[in-house]
A and B are shown apart, each in its own frame.
Chain A
């Protein structure tokens, strides 16, 4: 089954404790991205990756890191989480955007709470 998986689905952590949210897709998609969703602000892109070893900042990259060492995986790293990073996070993937196919397949979401 074609899917995007994220782990963990729920996470409560404390300020400053490094964490990683994993994202994996099995569709051989080139393009992957991370979003955060906050009430009243909609979905905002954090980082995206056009392909292996190619990453770029989205609209709200501060406080986040990503890596793309393999095509299927795109982890999101919070080196020193703060309460303002409490949010619902989505990973998504799609075929190469240069093919004009931007239909993004979304993961189930990770609800992060930083206290």
Chain B
């Protein structure tokens, strides 16, 4: 059973559109939720969220976490072709002295001119 579920799995938008990517999770001993962007190489870090309701923002990207409803969203405003990538959500959780990180399957975003 998937612990981290992202939706949609793929999305095609036009430049200038605003998109919302979703990530829901179900783990015990939640520690943090992270968003990554992956182009044709290794994932690069975007945000780490640990507290509910506090928006993290970087330029046109923003993200928020709801620990009660167990989900997070990643918003991208005024999309550009350079935003085309796979966006990965990951959840860190702990248990019995171990710490694991589980990724969702990702959302493939394609921005067309």
Contact = CB atoms under 8 A, between A and B. Distances in A.
A101 B50 CA distance: 10
Interface of A: 31, 33, 35, 40-45, 48, 50, 56, 58-59, 90, 97-98, 100-109
Contacts of A103: 34, 45, 48
A31 B99 contact: yes
B88 A43 contact: yes
Contacts, number: 65
A31 B98 CA distance: 11
Interface of B: 31-32, 34, 41-45, 48, 50, 88, 90, 92, 94, 97-106
A42 B50 CA distance: 22
Given A41-B105, A42-B106, A100-B50, A106 B43 contact: yes
Contacts of A40: 105
Majority DSSP secondary structure for residues of B touching A: strand
Contacts of B102: 45, 59
B101 A56 contact: no
A108 B42 contact: yes
Contacts of B48: 101-103
A99 to B, nearest CB: 10
B104 A42 contact: yes
A101 B103 CA distance: 16
Nearest to A91: B42
